[in-house]
C-alpha cells in the first residue's frame, strides 16, 4: 500500500526539511524543533489518512521511500533529507494507527529503501508500506 506527501511545506520550495535544517532550528530555540516535528508529523498524518483510508497493519513491515525533490534542490544531502522524513513518517504512521509501533518488532529497518529523483513540478514523497 502507498501514500503520497505532496507540496512545498518547507521554505516554500521543499516537501520536508533535512536533518540539518531541523538541528539548525533546535540550536535557534529548543521549542522550535518540537514545533517543526509536530508540524511535519501532522502533514504526514494527513497524507496517511487520505492515502491509506484507515488501513491498519498488524505484522512486520518495511518502508520504501521515493523522494521527488525540486531540481534546484540537488545540493541537499540525501541521508539528511531521508533521516528526518523517515523519523517523522514512522511516528505519523504510529500516531494514525496504521502501525502499532515503530519499534524493530514492527518495522524492519534493515530493509528500508530510499531513492531520489528531481522534478520541475511540485515536490513530493511516495511511501510504500510492504508487509513482510
- In the chain, the percentage of residues whose pLDDT exceeds 90 is 89
- In the chain, the percentage of residues whose pLDDT exceeds 70 is 99
Strand partners, 64: 113, 128
Q: Which domain holds residue 47?
A: 2-131
Q: Using the predicted structure, report yes or no on whether residue 88 has a pLDDT greater than 70.
A: yes
Q: What is the CATH number of the domain that holds 76?
A: 3.30.1330.70
Contact 127, 5 (CB under 8 A): yes
pLDDT tens digits, 101-129: 999 999 999 999 999 999 999 999 999 99
Give the model's pLDDT for residue 31.
92
Q: What's the domain count of the chain?
A: 1
Quick one: cell of 55?
488501513
Q: Using the predicted structure, report yes or no on whether residue 73 has a pLDDT greater than 70.
A: no
Amino acid at each position: 500500500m502507498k501514500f503520497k506527501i505532496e507540496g512545498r511545506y518547507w521554505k516554500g520550495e521543499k516537501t520536508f526539511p533535512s536533518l540539518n535544517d531541523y538541528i539548525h532550528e533546535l540550536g535557534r530555540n529548543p521549542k522550535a524543533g518540537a514545533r517543526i516535528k509536530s508540524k511535519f508529523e501532522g502533514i504526514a498524518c494527513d497524507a496517511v489518512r487520505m492515502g491509506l483510508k484507515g488501513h491498519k497493519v498488524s505484522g512486520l513491515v518495511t518502508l520504501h521511500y521515493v523522494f521527488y525533490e525540486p531540481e534546484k534542490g540537488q545540493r541537499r544531502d540525501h541521508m539528511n533529507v531521508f533521516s528526518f522524513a523517515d523519523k517523522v513518517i514512522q511516528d505519523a504512521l504510529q500516531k494514525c494507527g496504521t502501525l502499532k509501533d515503530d519499534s524493530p518488532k514492527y518495522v524492519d529497518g534493515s530493509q528500508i529503501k530510499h531513492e531520489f529523483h528531481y522534478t520541475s513540478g511540485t515536490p513530493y514523497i511516495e511511501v510504500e508500506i510492504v508487509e513482510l
